[in-house]
Amino acid sequence: MLAELSFYLWFMKKLFIVISIFFVSLVAQAHPFHVGVVEISFNSELKRFECAVKLFTDDTERILRNTYSEGVLDIAGANELPQVDSLLKDYLSNTLELSVNNKALSLEFLGKEGNADAIWAYAFFKAPEPFSTVTVSGTMLFELFDDQKNLIHWQTDEVKTHVLTEEKPAIQLVIQ
C-alpha cells in the first residue's frame, strides 16, 4: 500500500512538472492589442467628410518604415523626420477610402498630433454632390496584424460604431 502510494505521488509530481513546462511554453505576451479609431462626420456646410484617425505610434512607426523602406522615423518624437507627414498622408490615402455614388473621394491631409502612445491624423474628403450612402473602407495596419480592428465612429446627432477587420474591411453608411 505504501509502495503504491509513493509511486503515485512520484508520478503525480512528474506529471505536474511536465504539464507546468507545457504551460510555460505558452509565451507570455504583455497583452498587446491592435486597434485603430476613425471618427467621421459630415460637414454639410463645407460639403466634406471630416476624419480624425487614431493609430498607435509604435504600430505607425513600424508600418511606415516597412511600407516606405525607411529607417527610424521617431514619429511624434523630438527628432521626427520631416517626411513623416507626407508618408502618413500617402499611407492613409491608400488605406482609408471613402466612396460616394460608387466614386472614390480623394483624401486631403491636414496634419497630425500625438505622443509616444498614439497619434491623431486629421483629413477631409470633399463630397460636393448629393448622396444617400457612403462606403468607408479602413485597412490601416491589416498587413501588419491579422487581429487589427479599425473602429469607425460615425458621428451624426448620435455616434454609431462599426468595426472593420481584415475579414470585413468596409462598411456602408446610410445617410438619412
Partner 1 sequence: MVWFQLGLEHIADIQGYDHLLFVLAMMAPYSFKNWKQIAWLITAFTLGHSLTLALVSLSGPLLSSEVVEMGIAVTILATALYNSSSKATGVAVPIRYALVGIFGLIHGMGFSNYFTSLLGTEHSIWLPLLSFNVGVEVGQIGFALCVLLVQWILIQMLQVSQRSWQLFVSGGAAFVALTLILDRL
Q: Closest CB to partner 1 among 143 and 147?
A: 147
Residue placing its CB nearer to partner 1 in the complex, 5 or 27: 27
Got the DSSP string for the chain?
Answer: -HHHHHHHHHHHHHHHHHHHHHHHTSPPP-----EEEEEEEEETTTTEEEEEEEEEHHHHHHHHHHHHT-----TTSTT--TTHHHHHHHHHHHHEEEEETTEEPPEEEEEEEE-SSEEEEEEEEE--S--SEEEEEE-TTTTT-TT-EEEEEEESSSEEEEEE-SSS-EEEEEP-
Distance of closest approach, residue 22 Cβ to partner 1, in angstroms: 8
Least Å from the CB of residue 63 to partner 1: 17
Report the nearest approach of partner 1 to the CB of residue 68 (Å): 26
From the list 119, 121, 144, the residue with the least C-alpha distance to 67 is: 144
57 or 87: whose CB is closer to partner 1? 57
Residues of the shown chain interacting with partner 1 in the complex, contacts defined by CB under 8 A: 12, 15-16, 19-24, 26-33, 35, 37, 39, 52, 54, 118, 147, 149, 151, 153, 155, 159, 161-163
Minimum CB distance to partner 1 smaller for 8 or for 68: 8
Of 12 and 175, nearer to partner 1 (C-beta) is: 12
For the CB of residue 21, give the shortest distance to partner 1 in the complex, in Å: 8
Q: Residue 55 forms beta bridges with which residues?
A: 119
